[in-house]
Structure 1
Amino acid sequence: WCAPGSVPGNTPIPITSTAVFYLDAVLLAKIAHVLGEEKDYRRYDTLARGIRQAFIERFYDREAHTFGSQAADALALAWGLAPDGEEQAIADSLARDVMERHGGHHSTGILGSRYLYWALCEYGHGEAAMTMLHQKDYPSIGNLFQQGATTFWEYWGERLIDEQEGPRSYNHPMQGGFDTWFFDGIAGIRPSEEGVGFQRIVLRPQIVPGVHWARAAYRSIRGWIVSEWRREGGRLFWRVVIPPGASAEAHLLGQVEELTSGEHLLERELEG
């Protein structure tokens, strides 16, 4: 919705609605399992599996490795709707769509933009994500800034007056959903399903090309979670703070460490 140039956009509603239906079923299954409602768990787990299979059979192009749009591919990668073993191929196709078909620009609207940058970086296409982020021509965030925007607009600047409905919204904050990528992607702060309220944390920063340092802090119910990394002299330095009563699974450049509450300093050699 509200993609560049059109509303609702270039992703058919059956794709996004089926994807959300799948996510709802997955969440209900998880909730039922936590509550000990095994009958409901089996019901919703079976439903989710069926939706996923139907989604892939109906929408996935196995030759082109795509569900047909940037938004559809990003959702599939983020929500687990990609066929097993096809994730990297879909991400590669998505990066080509961004860089070649759209000249380094996004074609996503509100829903797809939330996951587009994260999906690209998760599968090694950080350069494509940063290219989009730094664009100044239409359609891009930078182009909105150049037009004097201080908020996210409903449209991407291509038309501010609708012939049917008049002036469009200049306050569509839902267009900014991609900014969660700064926290769960670049900084890598993610909640783990193994513990509620960030009792258990997954730290998995995406070391993106062209980004020399990043620092983020999230105030959880248990206290501040900090992830701060920088490149220096061919090495990567990472400072992590875990709040009291919490623990974390820290992923960095292919290595995993268990961290307890407190401050931690990690160092790795950068490839290349």
Structure 2
Amino acid sequence: EYYPMMKQWTEHVGSLAKDKERTKKYSSKTSSIVYQGLGDWCPPRYESVDDTPIEFTSTVFHYLDTRIMEQVASLLGHEEDAQTFATNGEETARELVALFYDPVEKTFGTQTADAMALDLGLVPAGDEEAVADAIVRNMNEKSEGFMHAGIFGLCRIGSMLARHGNAEAAWNLFTKKGENSFEWMWEKAKATSLWEVLPINEKTREAAATASHNHPMQAGYDVTFFEDIAGIRPDPSGYGFKVIRFEPLFHQQLPWAKATVHTPYGEVTSSWKSEEDRFDWEITIPPNSTGRVTLPFEGEFTINGQAWDLERFPRVETTTGKACFAFPSGRFHIQTQ
């Protein structure tokens, strides 16, 4: 029912990138870059910091659209459309990387750009951890050890750091104190709600004082709490929580975490405790769903008090190179031996 409109929109945005009248004042050499848009909306303010170019965020979202449309077209049997969207996506990715990526410094230029590129698989293979390192370097050099990101980066930075070898940096970001921190926003700016621009320092507080103080769009950072601290997120192999990935990444920073996510199939839960080399983890996978469980470290583990049965819980490899295990629906208690 909605496919024709989805196709029309994606093709329209693609046409903007190829319209020479619209692109001539920016660059006559690009054919896949979308220069119009609102950009990474409402980042905090600092004395000197670079904002993410509008053409980067607009083009990345167009790339995401082409990938979605490739899959939808294939599912609906529109194979010619699927191939067209696949080709468009590949062309867009190549031009994005050629235009924005610095292969020496391993960065797309800003914290948001690096986080979005990591999230959407635009980083050249093998450079993922180096790009995550570049986010940390930018935070320390440009934004006082905190993030400089609007709504597109805010919802990705914590997770992308944690998933690419920088969980400690993500933890430091969330727990930082003093000016340029979430703590300053609550304690000094007295922000008991989410402002249109998060008042994490005095410069931003003054600028945002007369703007909206009710903008839930700025809550995107809590994705990390559910997906990477508790360790519950939908797996791309089964959308809508048909397949659920369990992968807690902050066991070295926190002694415990627990969360529940309500899905179309029922409640998904993850509750873990960590102490030195001991790990105790309870998960619930609802009926008609399956799990992909990645253990926090190498070692011997039991399931429901029994030795690990590799026939029932087989080891599978993921695209990230990490080993994980396939689980059926049910309640499981995983412990180190």
Per the normalisation by structure 1, the TM-score is: 0.91
The residue number in structure 1 matching 2:193 is 151
- Deviations for 1:51-91, whole angstroms, at most 9, x for unmatched residues? 10000000001111000010000000011111122111111
Tell me, yes or no, if structure 1 residue 122 matches structure 2 residue 187: no
Alignment of 1:107-256 (within 5 A): 107-146=148-187, 147-157=189-199, 158-160=203-205, 167-253=210-296, 255-256=323-324
Q: Distance in 1 between matches of 2:193 and 2:119?
A: 26
- Native 8 Å contact 2:52 2:113 kept in 1: yes
- Matched to 1:11, the amino acid is T
What is the total number of aligned residue pairs between the two structures?
266
* Structure 1 gap ranges (5+): none
Identity of aligned residues (%): 34
Query: Which runs of structure 1 show a deviation greater than 6 angstroms over 4 or more consecutive aligned residues?
Result: none
Within the candidate set 55, 63, 72, 2:113 is matched to: 72
- Native 8 Å contact 1:138 1:156 kept in 2: no
- Native 8 Å contact 1:224 1:243 kept in 2: yes
Q: Distance in 1 between matches of 2:244 and 2:253?
A: 27
Q: Which has the higher contact order (CA 8 A, sep 6+)?
A: 1
The residue number in structure 1 matching 2:37 is none
Tell me, yes or no, if structure 1 residue 48 matches structure 2 residue 96: no
Q: Distance in 2 between matches of 1:229 and 1:114?
A: 24
Change (3 A) 1:66 1:205: same
Report the alpha carbon displacement of residue 204 of structure 1 after superposing the two structures with TM: 1.9
SS of the residue 2:294 aligns to: strand
The residue number in structure 2 matching 1:86 is 127
- Native 8 Å contact 2:112 2:157 kept in 1: yes
- Native 8 Å contact 2:251 2:274 kept in 1: no
Change (3 A) 1:139 1:156: farther
Q: Distance in 1 between matches of 2:154 and 2:277?
A: 32
Q: Distance in 2 between matches of 1:109 and 1:168?
A: 15
- Matched to 1:155, the amino acid is V
- Deviations for 1:135-157, whole angstroms, at most 9, x for unmatched residues? 23332221110121111112233
Per the normalisation by structure 2, the TM-score is: 0.74
Report the alpha carbon displacement of residue 94 of structure 1 after superposing the two structures with TM: 1.5
Q: Distance in 2 between matches of 1:198 and 1:145?
A: 34
Name which of structure 1's ranges 189-198 and 234-243 shifts more when overlaid on structure 2.
189-198
Q: Distance in 1 between matches of 2:60 and 2:336?
A: 38
SS of the residue 2:240 aligns to: helix
Q: Distance in 1 between matches of 2:279 and 2:181?
A: 30
- Matched to 1:171, the amino acid is N
Change (3 A) 1:197 1:155: closer
Q: Distance in 1 between matches of 2:45 and 2:249?
A: 30
SS of the residue 1:197 aligns to: coil
- Native 8 Å contact 2:146 2:173 kept in 1: yes
Tell me, yes or no, if structure 1 residue 261 matches structure 2 residue 329: yes
Within the candidate set 64, 67, 78, 1:26 is matched to: 67
* Structure 2 gap ranges (5+): 1-40, 297-321
